[in-house]
Amino acid sequence: MTEFIRKRTANAKNDILSGLTVALALVPEAVAFAFVAGVDPLVGLYAAFMIGLITSIFGGRPGMISGATGALAVVMVSLVAEGNALGAEGEQLGLYYLFATVVLMGIIQMLAGVFKLGKFVRLIPHPVMMGFVNGLAIVIFLSQLGMFMTYEDGKEVWMHGPKLWTMIGLVALTMGIMFGLPKVTKKLPEALIAILVVSAIVIFGNLDVATVGSFIRDGGGEGLKGGLPSFQTDIFNKVPFTWETLKFIGPYALILAAIGLIESLMTLNLIDELTETRGNTNRECLAQGGANIVTGLFGGMGGCAMIGQSIINIKGGGRTRLSGIVAALALLGFILFASGLIEQVPIAALVGVMFMVVIGTFAWSSFRIMNKIPKTDLFVLILVSGLTVVFDLAIAVIAGVIVSALVFSWENAKRIRARKRFKDDGTKVYEIWGPLFFGSIKAFNDKFDAKNDPDKVEIDFVESRVSDHSALEAIFNIVAKYEAEGKTIKLKHLSEDCKALMYKASPKFREVIVEAIDDPRYHLAANPEDFPKPLSDYKL
């Protein structure tokens, strides 16, 4: 028992300190992502707390941090806007549609875990992953440009004059502090320090700039009032449980679930590489889903794993579940006791933080490798980035995977080869090389000449692999063509699983498949003279 406790607490100090640092970094991003989604900042903070706590306890990757993210926020914008349009002015019906959507999103994610779909993240090619993060960075950047708008005579226009230069200056100062502070010391959270410095300049300099509080009030809110999350009974009162509602929130829930799982599982893989350990993808799907269900019911905007905060935690020494638990509980402390201070944070500081997140998220190495990777991979990278900006991350990643799969199939389809030779008795032998599947069957069929071939033909599959039903059907048709010409055909060196499928498909194959034959690629010498030592001394 003592040994068990000692192992669990060996890294406690690093976990606690790292968790506190992450909590400080979560505050500005949770508020900023709430702005992106068009909801109250407290909704983002609640999401960061609840999702962070639940996934830290039950998730499949200790040390990974989850919370409100920009990838989800950019999809929620239109959901909230369309939901608000369905209700009366000032009713904020979109917020309750958001909560209902997050609950449905969580159910979909839990189903992905139940059916063990987490393993399919391995099928996402690297160009798709690079396009994913590049597109995410561009979307977050574009979403921040709206913060440079202001109201004049009841109309929303771009800032200009002193107001614009003040905004640019404060944003630049925030970014400068976040860039320069780590070069001086890495013990201080640069995002928080930058926000504190800029906030102090605004408060003590009595600058007339937009703040979190003014932003909330301009949007019709009453300020940021901190408290414990409460069960949102209004979801059941204001959102009708009808087929029309499901048709409205269903597509959003599916997209959000896909984005959340893709980003979470990609982050999990990244943390696996950094820590040289292995997380549980299916358990993470279940935890993310359960966390979003709870978050939706208790007034959070939903979320997933956060790449930036997870890396901060790992580099800070956080390795166990304790680090994520400390981060979530510390964030709750900020919500309960520091909400008034958060209202005084200038919008420019949050924009600066988000711009630094953009810089840190974008895969700048993609420019360096453009001339070093295949053109098809470059096309996929650009395609995914573009679709992310135009549509959303889920559509972009799915399209990227499909294109990559088609390119892979096309390249492999061109690798089918047939070497022809004759035996002493006049039998013509076709030695097939390369994968035989739906993409290569046309090239495979073109290799044969049933009318002009001799009476005896052999097809040797020793260097080929029959992969799917299309390949089986192609072989069956070739056999039928030769037999229709009154010629004898034999099939050699088919794999056991392939033979089993062919026997099941038609008894005819038992007559043409040669069973009693050795694989010429594998031979074991049995002459004792070849072994100066006993066979047991050799590592075979």
Nearest in space to 341 (alpha carbons), one of 500, 450, 333? 333
CA 506/CA 518 separation, integer angstroms:
24
Domains recognised in the chain with CATH numbers? 30-404 (no CATH), 417-512 (3.30.750.24)
Distances in Å between the alpha carbon of 108 and those of 101, 137, 232, 259?
A: 11, 26, 21, 12
What band does 8 get if pLDDT is binned at 50, 70 and 90? low
Q: Is the pLDDT of residue 521 over 60?
A: no
Mean pLDDT on 493-521: 76
pLDDT for the residue numbered 494: 83
Q: Is the pLDDT of residue 519 over 60?
A: no
Mean pLDDT on 364-381: 88
CA 377/CA 129 separation, integer angstroms:
11
Residue 304 β-bridge partners: 67
Residue carrying the six token digits 């990838």: 71
pLDDT for the residue numbered 329: 93
Nearest in space to 338 (alpha carbons), one of 350, 349, 330? 330
Nearest in space to 345 (alpha carbons), one of 221, 210, 199, 484? 199
pTM: 0.71
Q: Is the pLDDT of residue 90 over 90?
A: no
pLDDT for the residue numbered 217: 67
User: Count of CB atoms within 10 A of residue 321's CB?
Assistant: 19
**Which of 388-426 are b and which e, b meaning 16 or more Cβ less than 10 Å from the residue's Cβ?**
bbeebbbbbbbbbbebbeebeeeebbeebebeeeeeeee
Q: Is the pLDDT of residue 51 over 90?
A: yes
Average pLDDT, the chain: 83
Structure tokens at 117: 């779909």
Mean pLDDT on 327-334: 90
Within 13 Å of residue 430, how many CA atoms lie on the same side as its CB? Answer: 25
CA 87/CA 329 separation, integer angstroms:
35
Of 216-230, 275-289, 370-384, least confident by mean pLDDT is 216-230
| Percent of the residues in the chain that have a pLDDT greater than 70, as a whole number | 90
pLDDT for the residue numbered 538: 43
pLDDT for the residue numbered 524: 41
